[in-house]
Amino acid sequence: MRRRVIFDNKVLPYVLVAPQLAVTLVFFFWPAGQAIYQSVLLQDPFGLRTQFVWFENFTTVLRDPLYLGSMRVTAIFSTAVTLFSMGAGLLFATMADARIRAVHVYRTLMTWPYAVAPAVSAVLWLFIFHPSIGILGRALLGLGIPWDYKLNGVQALILVILAASWKQVSYNFLFFLAGLQSIPRSVVEAATMDAGPARRFWSIILPLLSPTTFFLLVVNIVYAFFDTFGVIHALTGGGPAKATETLIYKVFTDGVINLDLGSSSAQSVILLLIVVTLTALQFKYVERKVHY
Amino acid sequence: MAAPARSERWIPHFVLAVGVAIFVFPIYFALIGSTHEASVIGRGEMPLTPGRHLIENYAQAWNLGSGEKVRGTPVHTMLTNSFLMAMAITVGKIAISLLSAYAVVFFAFPLRMLFFWMIFITLMLPVEVRIIPTYKVVSDLGMINSFSGLTVPLIASATATLLFRQVFMTIPDELVEAAKIDGAGAMRFFWTILLPLSRTNIAALFVILFIYGWNQYLWPLLITSSREMETIVIGIVKMIGTGDAQTDWQIIMATTIFALIPPVAVILFMQHWFVKGLIETEK
C-alpha cells in the first residue's frame, strides 16, 4: 500500500485524518470501551454503588432462560431470513440470466425493494396481514385459520421473517446475477453438451457461484442480526411473550427500557464477538479469493 | 448453443413475473389503502380497486400528518428531516473518507498504519452493538435532540475509506510526479486531479449511503424525541402505535408512500451507479 511518489508534508496528513479519527474515537472506541467496562461491573438498582464482578454479568446472562430463549429466536429468525432471501434471490437471478428478452426490465423491477426501510417493509406487511383489516389476514380467518400475530408467537415470527426477507431478496438477486454473469459462456455451453439443465445447475453453476454464496451468507446473517431491529420494533415489539425478541432487540429492551446497564453491556459484548467472528470469516474468504 | 425449446423460454418469464408480483403486491395495497376512507378500511371492507379520496388523504398527510385518531407530524416536516439527515450522513461520510484515504495513501507519516487500522476496525462496531454507551456519550455532549447528535456519530465510515483507498492506489505514480513537477501542492493535486478522477466512485457511493441514511431507524429512535426532529420512517411507526383496526390507515398508507418515493427514485434514476456502488463497496 506504499506508493513510490508521495507528498512530503509534516502536518497536513494529520489534519486530513483528523475528522475521521475524531468521530471514530468519540463515537466508536470510547463507547465500545465503555460497553466492555460496564460489562464487568454490577450497579445497584439505584445506581449509587458499582462493584467489579469479573464475568458475573456474562454468566448471569448466559444462564438466563430469557436470554437463551432470545438466542433460539435469533437462530430461527436469521436462518429463515437467510434461506428465504438467498433462495429467492438465486432463483430469480438464474431466471434472469437465461437468455430472454427484457432482462433489464426485470432487473429494474427487482432492484427497487432494496430502497425500502426494514421498518417500512414491516408496515406494508402489517397492513396486509392485520387480522381485522388486512386483506390476507382476513382471508386466513375466512379459511378457518385462527390468524392473530398479536397473540400467536409462531405467527408473529412468520410475519417478521416474511417482512425481513422480502426487502432483502433484491440484494441477493443483484449479487447472484453479477456472479452468474461472470461465469464464462463457454463453460456453460460445454456443459450443455452433456448435461440437462438441473444437473448443469447443481454440478457446474452452483460450485462456480460458491464465493458469491459464501459472501452473501455472511452479509445476510449480519443483516438478520442487526438491521432487522426496525422490522421487529414496528411489527411486534418483541412479543407476544418474547416470541420475536432477537438478541439485538433484547439489548435494546434491557438497556433502554429496563436500564439494566451491566446485563445490557454484557449482551453488547457478546454481540460484538459475533460481529468480529463474522467479519473475520468474511475477510478470510476475501483473502482466499485474492490468492486463487 | 441451440435455441432453447419453447417451454424453456416461457418458464423464466413466468417465474420472474411471479417474483415481480410478490414485490409489487404490498405496495399496491398501500396505494389502494391510501385512497379510501378510514371507516371503510376499519370495517375490513377495503376493495381491491382505488377509492376516491386520493388527493384529500395525501393532502391531509402532507399538511397535518394526523387524522381522527392519529396525532402525527406533518409529512412535509418529516420528509425534510429525513432528507437532511440522509444528505448530512452521505456528504459527511464521503468527505471525511476522501480526506482520510488521501492521507493514508499519498503521505508517509508515523502512525499511518495505526490510523488506518483504527478506521478499519470500526467495520466491526455497528451502532447496534454499542447503543447504550454511544447514547450516553451523545447525551454527555449535550447532543440529544440535535441535528448534529443525529448525524455526526454515523458519519465515520470504514467502507468508504477502504473504497477510496483502493481507487487512489490505482492512480499511476507518473501522474503524481507530473503534478509535482508542474508545481502542484498536495491540496491542489487533491482538488484538481484526484477528486475529478474519483467522480464515478463518489456517485456510486452516494446512492448506497443515501439509502443507508434515509433508512436509519434505531439511532433516530434513541436520539430524537421532539416532533420537529422526527424522521419519516420513525413517524410512520409511531402513527401505527398499537396497530388497532380503528385508526387512520389511509393517512398512514399515504405517509408510507411518501416515505418510499425518495429512496426508490434515487435507486431507479441512478440504477447504474447503484449496482456499481453495491458490488464495489462490498468487495
- Determine which of B37-51, B79-93, B205-219 has the lowest per-residue pLDDT on average: B37-51
For the cut 50, the answer to whether the pLDDT of residue A290 exceeds it is: no
- Determine which of A276-280, B15-19, B65-69 has the lowest per-residue pLDDT on average: B65-69
Q: What pLDDT is recorded for position A104?
A: 82
If 0-12 CB within 10 Å is exposed, 13-18 middle and 19+ buried, where does residue B250 land?
buried
For the cut 50, the answer to whether the pLDDT of residue A292 exceeds it is: no
Percent of chain A whose pLDDT exceeds 90 = 30
Q: Confirm whether A200 is domain-assigned.
A: yes
Least Cα distance to B85 among B204, B205, B219 occurs for B219
Q: What pLDDT is recorded for position A45?
A: 63
Q: What pLDDT is recorded for position B128?
A: 73
Instruction: Please tell me the distance in Å from B53's CA to the nearest CA on chain A.
Output: 18
Contact A117 B8 (CB under 8 A): no
- Determine which of A188-192, B51-55, B99-103, B250-254 has the lowest per-residue pLDDT on average: A188-192
If 0-12 CB within 10 Å is exposed, 13-18 middle and 19+ buried, where does residue A69 land?
middle
Instruction: Quote the ipTM score.
Output: 0.89
For the cut 80, the answer to whether the pLDDT of residue A101 exceeds it is: no
Q: What pLDDT is recorded for position B210?
A: 93
What rounded mean pLDDT belongs to chain B?
Answer: 86
b or e along A158-189 (b: 16 or more beta carbons within 10 Å of the residue's beta carbon)? Answer: ebbbbbbbbbbbbbbbbbbbebbeeeeeeebe
Compare A3 and A202 and report the one with higher pLDDT: A202
Tell me how many domains chain A contains: 1
Contact A100 B13 (CB under 8 A): yes
Contact B156 A265 (CB under 8 A): no
Q: What pLDDT is recorded for position B60?
A: 84
Q: What pLDDT is recorded for position B8?
A: 63
Closest partner residue to B29 (CB to CB) among A115, A135, A138 is A135
DSSP conformational letter for B229: G
Nearest CA in chain A to B267: A112
Q: Confirm whether A10 is domain-assigned.
A: no
- Chain B residues with CB under 8 Å of A135 CB are 29, 46, 48
Mean pLDDT of A268-274: 87
DSSP string over A203-260: IIIHHHTHHHHHHHHHHHHHIIIIITHHHHHHHTTT-STTTT--HHHHHHIIIIIS--
Mean pLDDT of A251-257: 86
Nearest CA in chain B to A123: B237
- State which residues form the domain around A191: 56-291
Q: Model confidence over A185-207: pLDDT tens digits?
A: 888 788 777 777 788 888 888 88
Contact A20 B96 (CB under 8 A): yes
What rounded mean pLDDT belongs to chain A?
Answer: 85
Instruction: Please tell me the distance in Å from A87's CA to the nearest CA on chain B.
Output: 12
Contact B132 A265 (CB under 8 A): yes
Residue carrying the nine cell digits 426532529? B229
Beta bridge partners of A52: A41
Q: Confirm whether A271 is domain-assigned.
A: yes
Rg of chain B, C-alpha, whole Å: 24
pLDDT-derived band of residue A291, with 50, 70 and 90 as boundaries? very low
| Alpha helical stretches, state H, A98-225 | 103-111, 118-129, 135-142, 153-166, 169-181, 185-194, 197-200, 206-208, 210-222
For the cut 70, the answer to whether the pLDDT of residue A4 exceeds it is: no
For the cut 70, the answer to whether the pLDDT of residue B10 exceeds it is: yes
Q: Model confidence over B161-205: pLDDT tens digits?
A: 988 988 898 888 888 888 888 888 888 889 988 999 888 889 888
- Chain B residues with CB under 8 Å of A229 CB are 128, 217-218
Q: Provide the grid cell at A279.
A: 467479519
For the cut 60, the answer to whether the pLDDT of residue B3 exceeds it is: no
Q: What pLDDT is recorded for position B85?
A: 95
Estimate the crossing angle of helix A103-111 against helix A169-181, to 10 degrees.
150
Contact B125 A272 (CB under 8 A): yes
C-alpha–C-alpha distance, residues A275 and B127, integer Å: 12
From the candidates A10, A11, A24, A173, which should be mutated to test the interface with B, based on the most B CB atoms within 10 A? A24
Q: Confirm whether A242 is domain-assigned.
A: yes
Q: Which domains does chain B possess?
A: 34-283 (1.10.3720.10)
Nearest CA in chain B to A261: B132
For the cut 50, the answer to whether the pLDDT of residue B2 exceeds it is: no
Q: Confirm whether A32 is domain-assigned.
A: no
- Chain B residues with CB under 8 Å of A106 CB are 16, 20
Mean pLDDT of A255-265: 81
Contact A2 B22 (CB under 8 A): no
Closest partner residue to B256 (CB to CB) among A10, A120, A150 is A120
Instruction: Please tell me the distance in Å from A64's CA to the nearest CA on chain B.
Output: 20
| Residues A1 and B117: beta-carbon distance below 8 Å | no
DSSP string over B238-256: HHHTTT-SSS-HHHHHHHH
Contact A110 B4 (CB under 8 A): no
Q: What pLDDT is recorded for position B4?
A: 52
| Residues B109 and A13: beta-carbon distance below 8 Å | yes
For the cut 60, the answer to whether the pLDDT of residue A289 exceeds it is: no
Closest partner residue to A91 (CB to CB) among B15, B41, B129 is B15
Q: Model confidence over A53-89: pLDDT tens digits?
A: 778 788 888 888 888 999 999 999 999 999 999 999 9
Mean pLDDT of B96-120: 89
Mean pLDDT of A270-274: 87
DSSP conformational letter for B2: P
Q: What pLDDT is recorded for position B6?
A: 57
Q: Confirm whether A47 is domain-assigned.
A: no
Least Cα distance to B197 among B243, B166, B224, B241 occurs for B166
- Determine which of A230-239, B35-44, B198-207 has the lowest per-residue pLDDT on average: B35-44
Q: Provide the grid cell at B18.
A: 411471479
The domain that contains A208 carries what CATH number? 1.10.3720.10
Compare A221 and B272 and report the one with higher pLDDT: A221
| Residues A122 and A161: beta-carbon distance below 8 Å | no
Q: Cα angle vertex B148, ends B147, B154, to 5°? A: 110
Q: What pLDDT is recorded for position A259?
A: 79
| Residues A78 and A221: beta-carbon distance below 8 Å | yes
Q: Provide the grid cell at B113.
A: 498504519
Contact B119 A24 (CB under 8 A): yes
Nearest CA in chain B to A191: B1
Q: What pLDDT is recorded for position B276?
A: 78
Q: Confirm whether A48 is domain-assigned.
A: no
Q: Provide the grid cell at A180.
A: 452468474
- Please state, as a whole number, how many other Cβ atoms lie within 10 Å of the Cβ of residue B190: 18
DSSP conformational letter for B122: G
Q: What pLDDT is recorded for position A145?
A: 87
From the candidates A16, A38, A103, A168, which should be mutated to test the interface with B, based on the most B CB atoms within 10 A? A16
Q: Model confidence over A6-46: pLDDT tens digits?
A: 788 888 989 999 999 999 999 888 888 888 888 887 776 66
Nearest CA in chain B to A89: B19
Closest partner residue to A174 (CB to CB) among B215, B233, B275 is B275
Contact B126 A275 (CB under 8 A): yes
| Residues A77 and A136: beta-carbon distance below 8 Å | no
- Report how far apart the first and last C-alpha atoms of chain B are (Å, whole number): 33
C-alpha–C-alpha distance, residues A250 and A254, integer Å: 6
Q: What pLDDT is recorded for position B93?
A: 94
Its pTM stands at 0.89
| Residues B251 and B72: beta-carbon distance below 8 Å | yes
Contact B119 A88 (CB under 8 A): no
With H, G, I as helix, E, B as strand and everything else as coil, classify residue B52: coil
- Determine which of A23-37, A101-115, A183-197, B145-159 has the lowest per-residue pLDDT on average: A183-197
Compare B174 and B129 and report the one with higher pLDDT: B174
Q: Model confidence over B215-239: pLDDT tens digits?
A: 999 999 989 888 888 999 999 998 8
Least Cα distance to B238 among B78, B127, B38 occurs for B78
Q: How many CB pairs under 8 A join A and B?
A: 301
DSSP conformational letter for A11: S
